[in-house]
Structure 1
Amino acid sequence: MKKIGFLSFGHWTPSPQSGTRSASDALLQSIDLAVAAEELGADGAYVRVHHFARQLAAPFPLLAAMGAKTSRIELGTAVIDMRYENPLYMAEDAGAADLIAGGRLQLGLSRGSPEQVIDGWRHFGYAPAEGETDAEMGRRHTEVFLEVLKGQGFARPNPRPMFPNPPGLLRPEPHSEGLRERIWWGSGSNATAVWAAKQGMNLQSSTLKDDETGEPFHVQQAKQIRAYHAAWKEAGHERTPRVSVSRSIFPLLDDRDRMYFGRGKEEDSVGFIDERTRAIFGRGYAAEPEALVEELRRDEAIAEADTLLLTIPNQLGVDYCAHVIEGVLKHVAPALGWR
């Protein structure tokens, strides 16, 4: 059994060919798709966060709205770039959104991927400390956020407050109990997957990671997940962790599917995401259901994960994206034992 959800980047463009032409469209359609996915029996609705881009960027108002419109489905991010975040203010936002959703948030965090602008986090008021990289700054922000989510007071109360305080040191409010265990780390390397395990975070692994061995993407990703599980066990955490992978999966069920995605088999691709980092990007899957099942059966990383996030083409509209999700749930998942 696997939990199956969707992941939307929330692209929008003012083009006649797009079904998502404005930021308003992207936000409102994301809410509608979460409702539709819940009705179809999907388990999760996740959004990507990109700054300075015509994509979804401010996750907590959106997650709160999705939470108010749904009742069962998990609501999450994959991922929030922690280089841009004030950990204490984020704890307040996350606590509020989680309480509105009844404890259904699954927050994916990370250092972030290459962005639209140079050092965009500087425009948000953040800079690495002396001798610190921007990646280390993102992990430092994450460690502060995780500590705050424990719910322990640390701020000395004013002896003459506007309103009466509870006894003891104070914490950011609202606090949502249990959210700390529903934090994930989006890892692009084996080393950061091990770090996430030591921190007691769940693991998100997408379709892009450092090319560390030259092997096919799914093989490298499976090894990353195994390294994470080994580090989790060594750390001695009591609970069972969760691991998600994301994939583009399109059952070719009708002429629309064949027109959009019937281009033949894709392959992994390799390139450099900056001057130093050689990365591998995993292939997408598009085929008739029986062929698709056989291809996915050979994906080692999906077999290792308990959660699968389907990256959806959001600019094709809510109805079509729901059709893609339903196609996987009905025509692929049962044959693979995921349902």
Structure 2
Amino acid sequence: MPKPSEPLRKLGFLTIGLFDPGDPRRGHESTLEVIQLGERLGFDSAWVRHRHLQYGISSPVAVLAAASQRTSRIELGTAVIPLGWENPLRLAEDLATVDLLSGGRLNPGLSVGPPMHYDRVRPALYPDTGDAEDFGYERMRRLLGFVRGEPATDFSGTEGFEVFSDRVQPHSPGLGRRLWYGGGSLRSARWAGEQGMNFLTSSVVKAEESEDFEEIQLSHVRAFRAAHPDGERARVSQGLVVIPTDSASPGQRAKYEAYVDKRTPRTASPQGPARMLFARDLVGTSEEIAERLYAHAAFREIDEVAFALPFTFEHDDYVQILTDLATRLGPALGWQPRG
């Protein structure tokens, strides 16, 4: 576990990729520029969110395909693709293709469950099969099998001049070990471990056995590793919202603090019928944030992070935050940038 004397091994960041509906290309270009900056700063990984029918990245795999051609080293992840919007076989083809194009740098993060606002989007998304769709773990098992090379059909061979495979093509052999599950409950943590996946734990968890965020997140990390074949070596990445202010201007600091103040009330107690509990955003100098992280029960048991960038900031704000993460906070946690 990372104590002040033990270094953070991997430092990543997560961006939502918002854009102006009047100029969507500019927003997507900004996301790609942020990923390129992350590589120059030595980050280990860059992750993108999804936003369907919103003004954010709706096709993270396509965006990462573009990013793979503008970078050469940084790992590229999704956090997360909600599988309810996807056909597992088709997604397996896309993931393998981008992984090969990137040179084996893709880290797909995934989750299960019905699409958000399903009753409203079902007529467009699944007009004929909406009542029959399975949005549970079986959908994920199909994807895992396809990515890992299990048969997708009982037919293979030559038909005329065309050659057919019984497995998803292309196949990227290492991709199956780089699939992540984004989970916020004990059940999902255990399930991800049983499937041999990696585990993404974010700033949102279900308040099932406690109302203490750190205690809950720690229980998820331990449950995942207890169920995983690799045990304590199983990979976990933590995704808190972290905003260092070391090189921020007075105006930026004021904006960041106002953003955190607005979001803090929701962290006081579980929210909604699902009892979702949110972590507090961390804002301050890198020294202050490092101290708070070392006191965080779950952080002390992981050695990888993908800190989430705030949703609504400007490009210049992300440049400042990423620069401070890489040059101030990362080193304060014992991390060293990759060359």
Give 1:214's aligned amino acid: S
Q: Is the 8 A contact 1:108 1:185 kept in 2?
A: yes
- Cα displacement string for residues 193-240 of structure 1 (whole angstroms, at most 9, x for unaligned residues): 0001001110001111101233321221011101111111xxx35994
Aligned to 2:253: 258
Contact 1:60 1:94 (8 Å CA) reproduced: yes
Deviations 1:13-63 (A, max 9, x none): 45xxxxxx6332222111111110000111111011121111111112111
Could you tell me which residue of structure 2 aligns to residue 241 of structure 1?
Answer: 234
Using the TM superposition, name which of 137-146 and 151-160 deviates more.
151-160
More displaced 10-residue stretch of structure 1: 302-311 or 105-114: 105-114
What does residue 220 of structure 2 align with? 224
Percent identical across equivalent pairs?
Answer: 31
Structure 2 stretches lacking a partner, 5+ long: 1-7
CA RMSD of aligned residues (A): 2.5
User: Equivalent residues in 2 for 1:1-339 (5 A)?
Assistant: 1-13=8-20, 22-111=23-112, 115=116, 118=119, 120=121, 123-125=124-126, 127=130, 129=132, 137-155=135-153, 156-157=155-156, 159-165=158-164, 170-232=166-228, 236-237=229-230, 240-253=233-246, 254=248, 255-263=250-258, 266=264, 268-273=267-272, 276-313=273-310, 315-339=312-336
Distance in 2, matches of 1:208 and 1:154, equals 35
C-alpha contact 1:8 1:46 (8 A) present in aligned 2: yes
Corresponding letter in the other structure for 2:271: F
Code of the aligned partner of 1:243: V
2:5 is matched with none
Query: Per the alignment, do residues 142 and 40 of structure 1 end up closer, same or farther by CA in structure 2, a change over 3 Å counting?
Result: same
Deviations 1:240-280 (A, max 9, x none): 4211111111122232431221348757333434xx31110
Give TM-score, length-normalised by structure 1.
0.86
The answer to whether the 8 A contact 1:12-1:315 is kept is no
User: Secondary structure, in 3 states, of the residue corresponding to 1:69?
Assistant: coil
Match of 2:4 in 1: none
Distance 1:180 1:249, change over 3 A: same
Q: 1:159 Cα deviation (Å)? A: 5.0
Q: State whether residues 208 and 279 of structure 1, in contact with CA within 8 Å, keep that contact through their aligned partners in structure 2.
A: yes
**Cα distance, 1:122 vs structure 2:** 5.6
Shift of 1:186: 0.5
Counterpart code for 2:203: T
Q: Distance in 1 between matches of 2:169 and 2:69?
A: 20
C-alpha distance 62-92 of structure 1, shift in aligned 2 (>3 A)? same
Moved more, 63-72 or 314-323: 314-323
Q: SS of the residue aligned with 1:145?
A: helix
> 1:17: which partner in 2?
none
Q: Distance in 2 between matches of 1:239 and 1:221?
A: 16
Structure with larger RCO (C-alpha < 8 A, sep 6+)? 2
1:46 is paired with a residue whose SS is strand
The 1:42/1:23 distance shift into structure 2, 3 A limit, reads: same
Amino acid at match of 1:281: F
Q: C-alpha separation between the residues in 1 aligned to 2:167 and 2:292?
A: 50
In structure 2, the residue matched to 1:18 is none
Letter of the aligned partner of 1:201 in structure 2?
A: M
What letter corresponds to residue 142 of structure 1 in structure 2? M
Distance in 2, Cα, partners of 1:52 & 1:244: 28
State how far apart, in whole Å, the 2-side matches of 1:240 and 1:293 are: 24
Kept in 1, the 8 Å contact 2:211–2:277? The answer is no
Q: Distance in 2 between matches of 1:77 and 1:244?
A: 12
What SS does the corresponding residue of 2:39 show, helix, strand or coil? helix
Aligned-partner residue type, residue 50 of structure 2:
V
